[in-house]
Homo-oligomer: A and B are copies of this chain.
Amino acid sequence: MYGVILAGGSGTRFWPKSREQSPKQLQKIVGTGTMLQNTVQRLLPLVSIENLYLGTNHQQAVETLRQLDSYGFFPDHLMAEPCSRNTALAIGLMAKVIIEKDPDAVMGVFPADHVVANSENFIKTLQKAETLAKKGYLVTLGIPPTRPETGFGYLQQGAEIEDGIYQVERFVEKPDRPEAEQYLENGHYFWNCGVFVWKASTILEELQQHAGNIYSQLETITSCIQTAKGKSPYLELDERGRNLFSSLPSLSIDYAVMENSSKVAIIPADIGWNDVGAWTALDDVSEKDSKGNIISGNVLVQDCSNSIIQAQNRLIAVLGLKDTIVVDSPDALLVCAKERSQDVKKLVESLNENGHPEGKQPATVNKPWGSYTVLDSGSSYVLKRIEVLPGEALSLQSHQHRSEHWTVVSGSAEVVRNKETFQLKSNDSITIPKNTRHRLGNPGSDLLIIIEIQFGHLLDESDISRYEDRYGRC
């Protein structure tokens, strides 16, 4: 079986831990790894790593690959999308890539940021789904509801196809509360969890039939796939492909195909599924103390109950709280009544509208070569911690308005300054005057950590002239 992980979401309800530029699936929220790593781990008993594919936004491509490095994930199984166009296009493109490799391929589609508590049932259900998919069905997993949830779409069960497998009567959009209560009581409604299993050929046929505008461009877009420059050879589109991709409609696979197809089958799946859609979802999936609090990090709790307290860099002391969410991050803090956790999404929209960069951008900014974190700033300086991954290098560049002072505190660095090249080790430092061509690289096999002091009276990320860049950013 082939697996396609869709990892393009942003998870703004998990702000400030997740941000548009460092979304939920790349964060550790429950369990041992990040949401993405847990998703891969969960699939490996059924999908071998050489059959695993992933679609994500181009901004997350390098960090996504870094997180999957230890699993032996193939970089050229990652498709970096130029922009978000929902699931129909992403799935169609992946089906094209997979069918070229294996015309009979059965592929499962999996969101990257959900929790499945019962892995064993999950695998058993997928095996059943695979058998059914081979017969030409579009199989979708239906989660038996446990509460009258108004945040999900529902699947209404139809006639039985075979033992415990049903046709779908209809797809239901997010219901209101009375409807949701009725569905829960009725017993023939399931939550639509976004997990699908089908033959690549079947979904392409159905796309052709129900979403011709998307299907008709897939062949051309596929011919525009190229391998990214730099050390991580993931798949991306050339300029023509990017333009075509961007021009297509943003449709979900449910809307484009599932709601219209006669080939849909539901397998009820009692797998401990949770979409971890907001901070309150932790109540269902995390360990609590005796008063119902979920605590992580350096926290002192006194007389609090049913609260979620997540510390990161600094101490949090909480006193007398009830049903409150406190989530800290290096540059932004959320304090929120639990009953309002769904509205964190709107809060982030307000932040974006009001020009707060913290709405989208995390304190640690990922780059193709590693990351940087602003630690302090004053009227004439900015202080950063720069981490360069083994074998990576920043572009050859210069700045018009600032000089830079670098001190290596971990790993080894190769620094080009004008025509000289310096090999620096921990405890070495060097100054780069303004208007000087320079390049910072990590020739070693360990992470390079540098403390950078930028000095100048105009300090701006845009003050950069690039002369050479291995990631194609010149």
Contacts and interface: CB of A to CB of B under 8 A. Distances in A.
Contacts of A233: none
B317 A333 contact: yes
Contacts of A429: 405, 429, 431, 453
B451 A350 contact: no
Contacts of A281: none
Contact of A315 (B316, B356, B431, B451): B356
A71 B155 CA distance: 75
Given A316-B333, A317-B332, A335-B316, A427 B451 contact: no
A408 to B, nearest CB: 9
A448 to B, nearest CB: 12
Given A376-B385, A407-B453, A321 B337 contact: yes
Chain B CB within 10 Å, residue with most, of A15, A346, A350, A455: A455
A97 interface: no
Interface stretch (A56-64, A120-128, A175-183, A323-331): A323-331
Contacts of A337: 319-322
Given A320-B343, A427-B403, A350 B300 contact: yes
22 contacts: A15-B317, A300-B347, A300-B354, A302-B346, A315-B333, A317-B332, A317-B333, A317-B336, A318-B336, A319-B335, A319-B337, A319-B344, A321-B335, A321-B336, A333-B333, A376-B385, A378-B410, A379-B410, A380-B410, A381-B451, A405-B429, A409-B455
A334 interface: yes
Contacts of A316: 332-333, 335
Given A315-B332, A326-B333, A429-B453, 6 more contacts: A300-B354, A302-B346, A320-B336, A321-B336, A383-B451, A427-B455
B378 A302 contact: no
Contacts of A231: none
A449 interface: yes
Chain B CB within 10 Å, residue with most, of A320, A378, A403: A320
A339 B331 CA distance: 29
Interface residues of A, number: 57
A343 B451 CA distance: 41
B381 A409 contact: yes
A381 B426 CA distance: 10
Interface string A339-361: 11001101100110010101000
A321 B307 CA distance: 13
Interface of A: 15-16, 300, 302-303, 314-322, 324, 326, 328, 330-337, 339-340, 343-344, 346-347, 350-351, 354, 356, 358, 375-376, 378-381, 383, 385, 403, 405, 407, 409-410, 426-427, 429, 431, 449, 451, 453, 455
Contacts of A347: 300, 302, 317, 319
Nearest to A382: B409
Nearest to A430: B429
Nearest to A385: B376
Given A333-B316, A427-B455, A453-B451, A300 B351 contact: yes
Nearest to A337: B320
Contact of A334 (B317, B332, B375, B409): B317
A373 to B, nearest CB: 8
Chain B CB within 10 Å, residue with most, of A330, A335, A385, A451: A335
Nearest to A16: B317
A85 B120 CA distance: 67
B300 A356 contact: yes
A112 B315 CA distance: 29
Contacts of A331: 314-315
A361 to B, nearest CB: 12
Contacts of A16: 317
Contacts of A449: 378
A458 to B, nearest CB: 14
Contacts of A351: 300, 315, 317
A340 B324 CA distance: 15
